[in-house]
């Protein structure tokens, strides 16, 4: 495959920084320090990989100013090599599939649906009545989009995405296979020993520049809407309950579960397999470590961790047994403190 090539000077002109060494060197791809070959651009963002500099076969490297003299390779000097690498990688590897505009003959289009002439509708797509597909959208094979749903311009739905009725999806949205948007939230009420289903009449509203990983589910609101803010990044297999609100530019890692009506602030980072209970609020700029359970609201920015470190099974059982008696131990300590104070 013949890939387009770009001189380092041209890359710097587009993304900033400055070149040390041969600015006319040509680049056609990015790679790691260890795996890079001729024609590829690598980066040094972590000091632990400095030892790999001498052996790398890359044509050029992205470095911080303090690392610029560690190699004789042509290099781009910038403030944050990892961010710079991400921008160059996106430039060299555009994510939007190369498809032609038009509607596949096998697609089923509901009455009153509007599809922009520049959009691509793939095989076996179903589109509900009065749905709207924006300019430059790519809706790939087997997707189902419900009635009255709006898909913003330049969005990509990979194969077999399901979007229920009356959802509003923003521009430049990327949705990976298996995602379900707008299914009913878990709304049930007990009546005489049985469960009564509560109709879920809200919507899902998703902002611009959001990415949703494979098999993630976002439930529609029970009464109000479930809202995902601009720039939110969701990993694979996340569950988002009804009426949840997630603030702009928050990133959530895989297998996290968020219960109904939780409100998560902007610019948060939530580690994988975390659990967030319903009806709580999390402030802006909060970082939650992986496997942490959040059971009450977090009012201040910062990092929060609830992980119990692993150990051998025998040691863990002993420690777990002691945890069960913490309340007793605390009471005993309190009594001893009181006794000591009386003696004094």
- Pair of tokens at residue 10: 């041209």
Tell me which of 120, 124, 165, 242 is the catalytic residue.
Answer: 242
Do the beta carbons of residue 172 and residue 209 sit within 8 Å?
yes
CA-CA distance, 284 to 250, in Å (whole number)?
Answer: 9
Residue 41, phi then psi, degrees to nearest 5: -110, 130
Residue 166, phi then psi, degrees to nearest 5: 60, 30
Residue 317, phi then psi, degrees to nearest 5: -60, -40
242 is catalytic: yes
For residue 311, how far is the Cα from the chain centroid?
31
CA-CA distance, 219 to 149, in Å (whole number)?
Answer: 15
| Cα–Cα nearest to 28, from 12, 15, 39, 38 | 39
CA-CA distance, 86 to 106, in Å (whole number)?
Answer: 38
User: H or E element: which one contains 275?
Assistant: strand 275-276
Catalytic sites, residue numbers:
242
């Amino acid at each position: 495959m013949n890939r387009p090539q770009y001189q380092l000077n041209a890359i710097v002109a587009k993304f900033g920084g400055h070149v040390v060494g041969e600015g006319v060197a040509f680049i056609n791809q990015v790679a790691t320090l260890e795996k890079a070959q001729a024609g590829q651009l690598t980066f040094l963002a972590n000091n632990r990989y400095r030892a790999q500099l001498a052996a790398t076969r890359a044509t050029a490297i992205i470095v911080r100013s303090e690392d610029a003299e560690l190699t004789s390779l042509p290099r781009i000097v910038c403030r944050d090599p990892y961010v710079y690498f991400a921008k160059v990688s996106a430039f060299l590897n555009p994510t939007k599939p190369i498809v032609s505009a038009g509607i596949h003959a096998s697609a089923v289009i509901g009455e009153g649906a509007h599809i922009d002439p520049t959009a691509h509708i793939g095989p076996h797509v179903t589109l509900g009545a009065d749905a709207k597909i924006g300019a430059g959208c790519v809706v790939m094979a087997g997707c189902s989009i419900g009635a009255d749903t709006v898909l913003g311009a330049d969005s990509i739905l990979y194969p077999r995405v399901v979007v229920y009725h009356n959802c509003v999806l923003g521009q430049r949205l990327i949705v990976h296979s298996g995602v379900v948007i707008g299914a009913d939230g878990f709304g049930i009420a007990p009546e005489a020993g049985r469960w009564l289903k509560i109709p879920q009449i809200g919507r899902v509203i998703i902002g611009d520049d959001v990415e949703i990983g494979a098999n993630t589910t976002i439930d529609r609101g029970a009464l109000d809407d479930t809202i995902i803010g601009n720039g939110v990044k969701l990993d694979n297999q996340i569950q988002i309950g009804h009426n949840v609100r997630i603030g702009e530019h928050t990133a959530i890692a895989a297998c996290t579960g968020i219960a109904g009506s939780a409100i998560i602030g902007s610019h948060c980072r939530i580690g994988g397999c975390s659990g967030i209970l319903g009806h709580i609020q999390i402030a802006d700029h909060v970082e939650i470590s992986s496997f942490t359970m959040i059971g009450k609201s977090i009012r201040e920015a910062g990092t929060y961790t609830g992980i119990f470190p692993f150990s051998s099974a025998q040691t863990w059982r002993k420690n777990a047994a002691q945890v069960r008696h913490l309340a007793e131990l605390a009471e005993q300590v309190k009594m001893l403190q009181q006794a000591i104070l009386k003696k004094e």
